[in-house]
Structure 1
Amino acid sequence: MKIISIMLVTALSLQANASLNSDSPEQPNGEFVDAVPLDRPEAIFPKQAAARGREGWVQLSYVVNEKGVVESAVVERSSGDTSFERSALNAVKKWRFKPAMQNNKPVKQCKNQVQLTFFMPEDYRGVSRPFLNRYKKIVAKIDKNDLESVPQLFHEMKERKLRNFTEDSYFWVAKARYYAAKNDRVNELRAIVRIIQFNDGHVPDEMYIAYLSRAIVLNMEQNKLKYALSLFERLSKLSGAENSVKQLAPYIDKVHELVEDDSKHIWVKGEITRSLWRHKLARNAFTISDIKGDLTSLEIRCDNHYSKYEVQPQQKWSIPASWRGCQVYIHGGKGAHFSLIETPQVKEELATKEV
């Protein structure tokens, strides 16, 4: 069987667009110069997945240290197959870079994200008849609000394995419709994130725009404001999305106002669904409270800084302005939940014990 090599279809990493042959000039005034990729071996398509005609994707975050070596690589999100996750992690750990520079010295580049996507040949695209029949059965039950047996039908569909991105996309379309019918907005958003993972024609353009717009609304409702802003930026670039952009623009303005309003806290509910939870910060200060379950560590990954801490309830983390583009990663036991509260902007330095 001829297999198409893995492709990097979503270049989320900061250095993804850098030239392989570029030299970093001297940078005055402490300007930060991104790491430059030198060697990025491809991931190996898992043999069993290939034999079954299965596709998959993996999103990862990693640090490029002062020697240009990758460290602290973690899987943020994936299509769910551990064989793809192992292959992606093994590949990324072998990547090498010309290190980032600041004040003409090598420094760590700490917030790097990339998505590795495992494609099969075109002949394996589309949906199978058994999948289509199950999908129609589920949708019919949802439309009739006959929801009791739907979870079992989803389980059976998943047990029979989803072959490719098209089946995976429509599986999550059905899930999004199910959670919308149950008014479970948290899981509805999780399902929609899986639908809008790609914009490669796996679902019709109108459906993609509708779900992207819905994800913006749900992120705003759940105070995941940085995600709402980045998705709105994506929506604004799409042909055919003009009406949706016009309708959402006033609400996006209110998001900007909320972020700048120091009289208000921004509460975000967090839950460990596998082994970690991540959040893009809209402000530079936050605290953790209402912890139920085991939280093992907290990482702050910024463009130019990486730190790891113990999770202390009510401890306030105040991130220096020099740490750019920060995200929080919280590790813990599956099912642990908590609140992350983004507090008013501060100027003080981060004062908390690293681990």
Structure 2
Amino acid sequence: MSHKVLYVSVAALLTANASTSVSANEISQHLSTIIIPEPIKRIPPKYPIEAARQSREGWTVLGFVIDEKGNVSDALVKESSGSKDFDKAALKAVTKWKYQPAFENGKPIQQCVNTVQMNFRMGKNDGIQGVSRSFKRKYDLADKALKDKDYQEVEHQLAKMSARRTMHLSENNYMHILAANYAREIGNDTLQLYHLDRVTLDSGVKSEKLKFSVLYQQFYLEAALSKFQSAFNTYEQLIKLEEAKPYLAKLEKLMADIDSVISSDKDIMIKAAIDNDYWYADLVRNKFSLTNIEGSLHTLDVRCANKRHVYTVENNNTWTIPTNWKNCSIYVFGEPKTNFNLIEHSTSS
């Protein structure tokens, strides 16, 4: 059975095949009253000794499950500045957190979609450090090369900056903004969004104009790449900024277009690739397939507001999630460098 696929960026219709149907079960026939979990104890992460000695900074975004007893389990790194020691410290800390569990109709339940960002900063105040002379030299060379369209030199200097383990959050932001500008220059939307996602707006970006610029680009790229839940989250941040006021009508129009795509009978496709062990996405529909797998996938972890299921993966499998499972995300586990497509189907397909 073929499905039409809509790309917002080019409004092109392509064909994707999906076959074997595997439906999720436990479909509820009534509405539920859910009380969200409340934190009881949150232990901050310990700053890694070697990172502190190097005055190195970074950040880690975690996704985790809160079980019926209020304990944290199944924590995963969703995004990171790239330092494994920070990721390890964040994971160790979050597993010690304790919550008053969520309740549904008077009974404790698990909450499977929880996210937190942990920032590792040096200093007594906000921890924002100035850039080093060594970093600035590399940045200036890369910036000049970008203006001169010497892309080989841009990539060379970006690689040298990225290899520096003693990077502060402000240097992280400078590097990723420059890398995003380079990706835009060469027309690589996926790479541009990758770098914009790694700019820590709550750490080191004091200029609202710069925050607006980063979020504005993210919003349009997320829409173009069919990452609609991320686009909605970015939109919510954008409209709070004073800088966004002249653009509100345009932003609202694009949000309306996104809503139209989500409610249409066209399938939505996202190209995916596993960098390390897994890839994740936030869903906007309750029926999806994993197709055109090039490599090896072995496990699918479906996490919704108060439900979680783990499946094995075969090429072209289709999953249907009950409509009362809200705010669903998927984590796809497999071998590094495995490529595949996520197809979100309309309810009429």
TM-score by length of 1: 0.85
The aligned residue for residue 117 of structure 2 is: 115
Q: Is the 8 A contact 1:53 1:124 kept in 2?
A: no
SS at match of 2:313: coil
The aligned residue for residue 152 of structure 2 is: 148
The aligned residue for residue 258 of structure 1 is: 261
User: Does residue 228 of structure 1 match 2:231?
Assistant: yes
Extract unaligned runs of 5+ from structure 2: 1-29
The aligned residue for residue 3 of structure 1 is: none
The aligned residue for residue 242 of structure 1 is: 245
SS at match of 1:110: strand
Residues 301-340 of structure 1 aligned to structure 2 (within 5 Å)? 301-340=303-342
User: Does residue 206 of structure 1 match 2:238?
Assistant: no
User: Does residue 76 of structure 1 match 2:113?
Assistant: no
Q: Which moved more, 1:152-161 or 1:106-115?
A: 152-161
SS at match of 1:274: coil
Change (3 A) 1:326 1:108: same
How many residues matched? 318
> For 2:97, which of 85, 95, 100 is the aligned residue?
95
Q: Is the 8 A contact 1:300 1:329 kept in 2?
A: yes
Counterpart AA for 1:226: Q
Structure 2 CA distance for aligned equivalents of residues 251 and 83 of structure 1: 40
Deviation at 1:306, TM superposition (A): 0.9
Please give the root-mean-square deviation of Cα atoms over the aligned residues, in Å.
1.8
SS at match of 1:126: coil
SS at match of 2:316: coil
Structure 2 CA distance for aligned equivalents of residues 160 and 260 of structure 1: 45
The aligned residue for residue 160 of structure 1 is: 164
Q: Is the 8 A contact 2:170 2:203 kept in 1?
A: no
SS at match of 1:163: coil
The aligned residue for residue 135 of structure 1 is: 139
The aligned residue for residue 179 of structure 1 is: 183
Structure 1 CA distance for aligned equivalents of residues 62 and 348 of structure 2: 30
Q: Is the 8 A contact 2:138 2:160 kept in 1?
A: no
Structure 2 CA distance for aligned equivalents of residues 242 and 144 of structure 1: 34
Q: Which moved more, 1:91-100 or 1:338-347?
A: 338-347
Q: Is the 8 A contact 2:68 2:110 kept in 1?
A: yes
Q: Is the 8 A contact 1:165 1:202 kept in 2?
A: no
Q: Which moved more, 1:158-167 or 1:317-326?
A: 158-167
Moved over 6 A (4+): none
Higher relative contact order (CA closer than 8 Å, sequence separation 6+): 2
Structure 2 CA distance for aligned equivalents of residues 55 and 271 of structure 1: 27
Change (3 A) 1:156 1:29: closer
Counterpart AA for 2:155: P
Counterpart AA for 2:215: L
Structure 2 CA distance for aligned equivalents of residues 301 and 206 of structure 1: 35
SS at match of 1:194: coil
SS at match of 2:223: helix
